[in-house]
Amino acid sequence: MEAPPDNDVLWARSLHFRHQDGSPGLAGASLGVREGEIVAVSGPRGSGKTTLLRCLSGQVTPERGEVWFNSAPVHTMGPVAREQLRRDRFGWIDPAPALVPELNVWENAALPLMLRGTGRRRAKVAALEWLERLDVGEQVRRRPHELRQSERQRVAIARALASGPTVLFADEPSAPLHRADRTPVLRTLTTAARSHGITVVMATHDSEIAPLVDRTVCLLDGRCVKTVHLPDLPEAEGRAAACSLSV
């Protein structure tokens, strides 16, 4: 078993995974992510982006290959240890905001913190901070069904950030947003991650994300293909990276 590099907070080697219907999900994908790095995972539909994020976050176990978080082997952890890791160290944003209908906005955003044992008052303060930053601070006492789809997604993003994860996994976080909302929300997400030292792995089709991330990794048929790093642009918020389709 090969040890992961010391400077990678998240490291995966040769991941293979098949879905329940037998269709391939990953076919040897490998990836290393450094602490505080923001990485976009791109590729056509069905290329394995969501499956890669689910393996990296411990939601599913690869059939073959290794996943390490801070030198801990996620791929050999039992269900209880993986659940604790996801609760305490990871954050997750779905393409569709999965909010608890019985809870209001701030309670939804504070829920991961309270499940972790944080007091209600402290959890509320953290939730309100992020809800304000994501422009849904005026909706804090409303229920999810009273919000627009784009507002529900902002609440879901606030919920993921409020818990202060070490690594944030975002699966198409801008998918439910109107075009005019996408760039401001993605900029808020990436800026917040940088200011709080949060590592981000984001699956996305959104071409506007490129200037906001450090690196883009392209997936093709369940395999990572080469990434090309571009130099810093003075007007950009991050570093853009283009993809090459050669292995």
Any idea what the CATH number is for the domain that residue 93 is in?
A: 3.40.50.300
Residue 88 lies in a domain: yes
> What is the structure's pLDDT at 178?
84
HSE of 99, CA atoms in CB hemisphere, 13 A:
29
Residue 177 lies in a domain: yes
Residue 52 near residue 41 (C-beta atoms within 8 A): yes
Q: Mean pLDDT, consecutive 10-residue segments, the chain of 247 residues?
A: 70 92 87 94 88 95 94 93 93 91 96 92 95 93 93 93 94 86 88 92 85 90 64 46 39
Report CA torsion sign: 224, 201, 80, 104: negative
Residue 1 lies in a domain: no
Residue 23 lies in a domain: yes
- Cα distance between the two ends of the chain: 24
**Residue spans of beta strands (DSSP E) within the chain:** 8-18, 24-34, 38-42, 64-69, 72-73, 90-93, 167-171, 199-203, 215-220, 223-225, 227-229, 241-243
> What is the structure's pLDDT at 239?
41
DSSP 31-61: EEEETT-EEEEE-STTSSHHHHHHHHTTSS-
Q: Is 105 helix (H, G, I), strand (E, B) or coil?
A: helix
> What is the structure's pLDDT at 247?
36
**CA-CA distances (angstroms) from residue 100 to 32, 91, 116, 142?**
34, 17, 17, 12
What residue numbers bound the domain in which 164 lies?
8-225
> What is the structure's pLDDT at 6?
65
Percent above pLDDT 70 for the chain:
89
Q: What is the mean pLDDT of the chain?
A: 86
pTM for the full predicted model? 0.85
Residue 240 lies in a domain: no
Residue 218 lies in a domain: yes
Residue 170 lies in a domain: yes
> What is the structure's pLDDT at 104?
97
HSE of 165, CA atoms in CB hemisphere, 13 A:
27
What domain count does the chain have? 1
Q: Rounded to an integer, what distance in angstroms lies between the CA atom of residue 8 and that of residue 88?
A: 19
How do residues 89-101 score in pLDDT, each as one tens digit?
999 999 888 899 9
Residue 233 lies in a domain: no
Q: Which residues contact 145 (CB under 8 A, 6 or more apart)?
A: 101
Q: Rounded to an integer, what distance in angstroms lies between the CA atom of residue 209 and that of residue 203?
A: 10
